[in-house]
Chains A and B, each alone.
Chain A
Amino acid sequence: MAKTLFDKIWDSHVITDLGNGFVLLHIDRLLLHDLSGARALQEATEKGYAPAQPRLVYATPDHAISTAPGRTEQTFPPGEPLIRGMRASTAQHGIRLFDIGQDGNGIVHVIGPELGLTLPGTTLICGDSHTCTHGGMGALAFGVGSSELVHALATQTMVQRKPRRFRVSFEGAIPAGVTPKDMILHLIGEVGTAAGTGHAVEYAGSAIRSLPVEGRLTICNLSIEMGARTGMVAPDDATFAYLQGRDYAPKDGLWDRALAHWRTLPSDPDAEFDREHTIDMSRVAPQITWGTSPEHVIAVDRPIPDPAAGPEDKRAAWTAALQYQGLEPGKPIEGTRVDWVFIGSCTNSRLSDLRAAAAIAKGRRTASHVHAWIVPGSERVKREAEAEGLDRIFTEAGFEWREPGCSMCIASNGERVPPGQRSVSTSNRNFVGRQGPGARTHLASPAMAAAAAIRGVITDVRKL
């Protein structure tokens, strides 16, 4: 029977059928971060369970730590007990912790692929909704809540219903100025934030094939924003080249065996999907969100939508969003004054993202009224960026070069956009108050964010 990539990984991980549509699924990798991870370990212990397979569990603090240069666990005091708790719990149970300042530390969805922990054909969970990011490596990765995380720590399994299969094909050459971030934002703008509910999405097509691994991670990252259970890209030679030699990737004879297995994973040519959607790349332009949902997104050269001209069932939501964002319908979005620019997050904080931003920043200066931050996704990304001199390009342009962490994406470490101020952010959510109470967020690609920092207003990066 013809199977999709998702079918192959799911079906091969079913331990037993529990009836009524539920199965017991083996989980190959558990990733823990400081907000949910330490607490979950504690709770498992309180219930009388030690982690079932500690060598399959990896931890890093990322949400509640400061990203200020030279930060420690004390720099953001409310995060300190979480980090200390994480140190104690991971030590107690023999779980590898990539602690502050250590090689391997960083945003959990950046370090997984970077360290070769995320492998094609594996199942991976984390107590964070952007776990779908790891699907870019050809893994089956999804976010879970705390209770399911505790269950997985204790049993190495999850009780799940199999999602339906959704294939999104991006076809055609990628136009100038268009990045993976624009591709996924454009998709969400077309299909909405609930299109993927109950589905596992596979991203396919010539444009996806042409993307480097980091770009695929960006696309998979926003799968949750279209409501999908997960997102994935079939592994190929680009994936294998990315993986080879990484810390936890197989070596030598095991590498050859793994490779042979991974090559069997892509969807069979005649495999069926429950839903399909195709994006013609020639119609995709650099994107910018205007409202309070990732589906409130337009090409940067379009006017701000008018609720009166939009779908009737969206009228109230669009009106409320425009009011919160302080925007007028019908006006161009280009030229909207910006106060903050945040380049970082599990969406866009990898080396290729920083290179893209640096290419815009080089030889230019940020507008005097803009606070602009670059927060690299991991210690390794930071080191590699510094080796290429990207940090100097940024600081000479007036950007702040900071330490790895989630930072302003989620503002759980006190790093907020002040009330009423407007940001262009390379993160993944523009909900009301996401970056701080009253903060006004516009999501965009790293190049678009850098352009906004330079011009001080929302800018079409193609014009720079």
Chain B
Amino acid sequence: MEKFTKVTGVAAPLMRQNVDTDLVIRIERLVSNTGREGLGPYCFEQIRFRPDGTENPDCVFNQAPYRGAPIILSADNFGCGSSREGAVWALAGMGVKAVIAPSYGDIFFNNCFQNGVLPVKLPIEEVERLAEETRASPGNARVTVDLENCQVVSPTGRIIPFEVDARRQHALLNGLDDIAQTMTHKDAIAAWQGADRTARPWVWL
């Protein structure tokens, strides 16, 4: 899996509540493209493009300093709705390495960690401040997301700590493969299953 240690770059101030994963990637893009690559052009297509296919100039992702930004700033409940992991793949395809928001849909949150994308949780006041500092100096403002030290560095150099599960932090920093890690518990799994076959035989079809 992609490692994530630190990213420094422009943060696109999307600042929307309840960004659902249908908005991030339309379902038909996942029917015609079942793999993890190639979804970047369709990320947020409903707001990036007008019905006639031309770019929507009002969309933050089409505005000069924010194009290709590796960080997105947003409001509550980012990534709610559908479990489609394609939402993370599309974000990654558009160049996103980290999202900063107060809260996330649970499944999307888990999916990020499977793909080397870091979902940072910060209180809305902090995210709004980052957005303000960014908008104040759009060409120059840079945000750093540092997973080693669990901190965000704002465009004016303020340090904002964030929390992330130690296990997930370790896995992202080292690009660890979940399946390989679980396979080290093969014996415990087999033992549990053996006992369960005796205790609940009706489950074992």
- B-binding residues in A (CB < 8 A): 15-16, 18-22, 24, 26, 28, 35-36, 38-39, 47, 49, 53, 55-56, 63-64, 78-79, 82, 119, 121-122, 127-129, 143-148, 150-151, 154-157, 159, 161, 163, 193-194, 197-198, 224-225, 227, 229, 248-250, 254-255, 257-258, 261, 293, 313, 317, 410-412, 414, 419, 429, 431-434, 437-438
Contact = CB atoms under 8 A, between A and B. Distances in A.
Q: Which of B26, B28, B106 counts the most chain A CB atoms within 10 A? A: B106
Given A144-B107, A154-B179, A438-B51, A227 B202 contact: no
18 contacts: A18-B167, A20-B165, A20-B166, A28-B203, A147-B115, A156-B189, A156-B193, A157-B189, A194-B77, A197-B104, A197-B105, A197-B106, A227-B105, A257-B202, A412-B31, A429-B22, A429-B82, A437-B51
Range for the number of chain B residues in contact with chain A: 35 or more
Interface in B53-95: 76-77, 80-85, 88
Interface in B24-54: 26-28, 30-32, 34-35, 46, 51
Contacts of B111: 145, 147-148
A21 B167 CA distance: 9
A410 B105 CA distance: 19
B24 to A, nearest CB: 11
B189 A26 contact: yes
Nearest to B46: A433
A247 to B, nearest CB: 10
B9 to A, nearest CB: 25
B182 A151 contact: yes
Contact of A159 (B166, B178, B192): B178
A19 B167 contact: yes
B183 A155 contact: yes
B181 to A, nearest CB: 8
A163 B107 CA distance: 12
B114 interface: yes
A265 B105 CA distance: 28
Contacts of B205: 55-56, 248
A431 B84 CA distance: 15
A197 B77 contact: yes
A433 B46 CA distance: 8
* CB-CB nearest 8 A-B residue pairs: A250-B202, A145-B85, A147-B114, A145-B111, A129-B83, A20-B167, A143-B83, A146-B85
Contact of B32 (A78, A128, A161): A78
A145 B20 CA distance: 15
Contacts of A22: 165, 167
Contacts of B103: 194, 197
Nearest to B191: A15
Interface string B160-188: 00000111000000000011011101001
Contacts of A16: 185, 188
Given A19-B167, A82-B34, A194-B76, A317 B18 contact: yes
Nearest to A39: B34
Contact of A128 (B83, B185, B189): B83
A254 B84 CA distance: 37
Contacts of A47: 179
B152 to A, nearest CB: 21
A224 B202 CA distance: 29
A26 B182 contact: no
Given A20-B167, A122-B203, A156-B193, A49 B85 contact: no
A22 B192 CA distance: 17
B201 interface: yes
Contacts of B51: 419, 437-438
Contacts of A258: 200, 202
